[in-house]
Amino acid sequence: MLVGAFIGELIGLLIGIDANVGGVGISMLLLILVAAKGQASGRIRPISATGITFWSGIYIPVVGATVLAGVLAVVVSCALVPLLSRIGGEPPPPLEPVGGQPPLPKDASVEQGG
């Protein structure tokens, strides 16, 4: 787990963010690789193999639940924007035009260059 966390932190630094990028996934891949090599050589006891199988099996549901929770949080937040905007009271004043020029009147025609 520590090796995966270290590699995840290193990847985060390499891409310029202060976060662990994929450390848990890297740890799981290392666990699977070490377990396969240990089972092939006969050095892993059956109780250890059972634990490795458990953690390998639980990884995908945990990641799936995390992704689902993130997606639901975004969907609910987007759905609540109209409701929250009504609670605010009066609408904000209109934005000033870019460049400091006054806006055109609604009935003014737009001249086309040519």
Establish if 102 belongs to a structural domain: no
Number of domains in the chain: 1
pLDDT on residue 107: 66
- DSSP code string of 63-111: HHHHHHHHHHHHHHHHHHHHHHHHHT-SPPPPPPPGGGPPPPPTTPPPP
Structural domain including 22 reads 2-88
Q: How far apart are CA 114 and CA 105, in angstroms?
A: 23
pLDDT on residue 10: 92
pTM: 0.48
Establish if 100 belongs to a structural domain: no
Establish if 97 belongs to a structural domain: no
Q: How far apart are CA 66 and CA 42, in angstroms?
A: 35
Establish if 107 belongs to a structural domain: no
Q: Give yes or no for a contact between 35 and 44, defined as CB atoms under 8 angstroms apart.
A: yes
Establish if 74 belongs to a structural domain: yes
Condensed to tens digits (0 to 9), the pLDDT of residues 46-102 reads 888 888 878 878 877 888 898 899 999 999 999 998 888 778 777 777 777 777 666
Condensed to tens digits (0 to 9), the pLDDT of residues 4-63 reads 888 989 998 999 988 888 888 888 888 888 888 887 888 888 888 888 878 878 877 888
Which stretches does DSSP call E strand in 33-107? none
